Amino acid sequence: MLDLKKIKDEFKLKLGKKLNLSEINQIKSDLFGKNGHITLEFKNIGKIAEAERKNFASELNLVKGELQNLINIKVREIENIEINEKLEKEKIDITLPERNFIRGKIHPVSQTIDEISSIFSEIGFSVAEGPDVENEYNNFTALNTPDNHPARDMHDTFYLDPKKEKLLRTHTSPVQIRTMLNDKPPFKIIAPGRTYRSDSDQTHTPMFHQVEGLHIDTDINMGHLKGCLNYFIKEFFEVKNIKMRFRPSHFPFTEPSAEVDIGYEIKNGKIVIGEGDKWLEILGCGMVHPNVLKNVKVNPDKFQGYAFGIGIDRLAMLKYGIKDLRAFFECDYRWLNHFGFDPLDVPTNYRGLSR
Ligand code: PHE
């Protein structure tokens, strides 16, 4: 009994101190391990005189329980301290100012291509693509452009080999050919992309962008062409009314052919689309020439339709008030910061992300 009290007092004292987990484990094994004090006392029970045995056993159990309890409390204390330390360390200080970061801007041409694609996709056009490096056949011959046509002149076309077989496409119209050669009618596609001509001034750059449109089916006429372009221009410029003029023109791959002007006026130094009595040419179009259809093995007696080619950069300049086309491609970061679009704050009619 005396031993028990000694053990109890000694270990109560120890457990009253500040301990870490390994010190507690040590105490545990000192008490309850194979040769621990309490374990040994239990082994001693048999040696104790019978008269005292019962008393001793119950006292031993009490001491055991008490010490175990103290240990448990101590362990929980340590765990709490650890959790609190962790919480303290991982605390997020929301009063800190945000880190400075630079968000890129969407180039006005990319923005415009996205807008054009979404507008046409809503009326059933899908987007087709072709390579910038084209062959002479797709770019000219298949498009009913005879050998002596001025468009083939070295001045306009960047040829890539002396034989003039490979070139940088001068328009997106070869995508018409690629699309029709690869598939069966009906066709209803737009093809936005880069185009190249040897030309440079305030409104011309050697590389520029066009979007081609092609709609071929059994019953497509010029009324559809007019309706489609009228819809597009209104949607693109976000105006209710648009003044449009179809001017007779010539392209080898369309018959009849037209160039389309839209009405505008300058109000307080700003261009207003759809009103006024000034005209601005924005695209070429027409009914696809039967020879083109024959070249791609589409029967012109059964299928017909329209095509158009719109200058994307010019549309972007008009819509976003950019005066010099060359600035588009000079990669001036300050310019892009000013005219570019915040990817998280896109204009209302930009359907690519917001719908
Ligand atoms: N490809 C013509 C150009 O670049 C535009 C066009 C396309 C005209 C389709 C008619 C039909 O000028």
User: Which atom of ligand 1 is nearest the CA belonging to 213?
Assistant: 9
For residue 251, the CA-to-ligand 1 centroid distance in Å is 7
For residue 179, the CA-to-ligand 1 centroid distance in Å is 16
Nearest-angstrom CA–CA distance, 7 and 5: 5
Instruction: Name the residue at shortest CA distance from atom 4 of ligand 1.
Output: 171
pLDDT tens string, the chain, 355 residues long: the values are 568 889 889 988 988 888 888 899 999 999 999 999 999 888 888 888 888 888 888 998 999 999 999 999 988 988 898 899 888 888 887 888 888 877 889 999 999 999 999 999 999 999 999 999 999 999 999 999 988 887 677 668 999 999 999 999 999 999 999 999 999 999 999 999 999 999 888 778 999 999 999 999 999 999 999 999 999 999 999 998 899 999 999 999 999 999 999 998 888 878 888 888 889 899 999 999 999 999 999 999 999 999 999 999 989 998 888 888 889 999 899 999 999 998 887 665 555 443 3
Mutate to test the pocket of ligand 1, among 125, 140, 173, 189 (most ligand atoms within 8 A of CB): 173
Query: In the prediction, which pLDDT does 347 show?
Result: 60
Instruction: Name the residue at shortest CA distance from atom 9 of ligand 1.
Output: 308
Query: In the prediction, which pLDDT does 204 show?
Result: 84
For residue 35, the CA-to-ligand 1 centroid distance in Å is 98
Instruction: Name the residue at shortest CA distance from atom 5 of ligand 1.
Output: 309
| Two tokens, residue 319 | 């819509």
Stated as kind and residue range, the H or E segment containing 187 is strand 187-196
Query: In the prediction, which pLDDT does 349 show?
Result: 55
For residue 341, the CA-to-ligand 1 centroid distance in Å is 29
User: Which atom of ligand 1 is nearest the CA belonging to 285?
Assistant: 10
For residue 75, the CA-to-ligand 1 centroid distance in Å is 82
Pairing state of beta strands 126-127 and 187-196? parallel
For residue 242, the CA-to-ligand 1 centroid distance in Å is 22
Instruction: Name the residue at shortest CA distance from atom 7 of ligand 1.
Output: 309
Question: Residues lining ligand 1, judged by CB closer than 6 Å?
Answer: 171, 173, 251, 254, 284-286, 307-309
The distance between the two most distant Cα atoms of the chain, rounded to a whole number of Å, is: 130
Residues 321-353 as b/e (b if ≥16 CB within 10 A, e otherwise) read: ebeebebbeeeeeebbeebbbeeeebeeebbee
Nearest-angstrom CA–CA distance, 249 and 60: 112
Taking the mean position of all CA atoms in its chain, how far away is CA 308? Answer: 28
Instruction: Name the residue at shortest CA distance from atom 10 of ligand 1.
Output: 285
Give ∠ CA 219-223-226 in degrees, rounded to 5.
130
For residue 285, the CA-to-ligand 1 centroid distance in Å is 6
For residue 211, the CA-to-ligand 1 centroid distance in Å is 9
Mutate to test the pocket of ligand 1, among 253, 259, 287, 312 (most ligand atoms within 8 A of CB): 253
User: Which atom of ligand 1 is nearest the CA belonging to 176?
Assistant: 9
Query: In the prediction, which pLDDT does 2 show?
Result: 61
Nearest-angstrom CA–CA distance, 344 and 354: 10
Superfamily for domain range 108-142+168-339: Bira Bifunctional Protein; Domain 2 (3.30.930.10)
For residue 320, the CA-to-ligand 1 centroid distance in Å is 24
Mutate to test the pocket of ligand 1, among 156, 171, 208 (most ligand atoms within 8 A of CB): 171
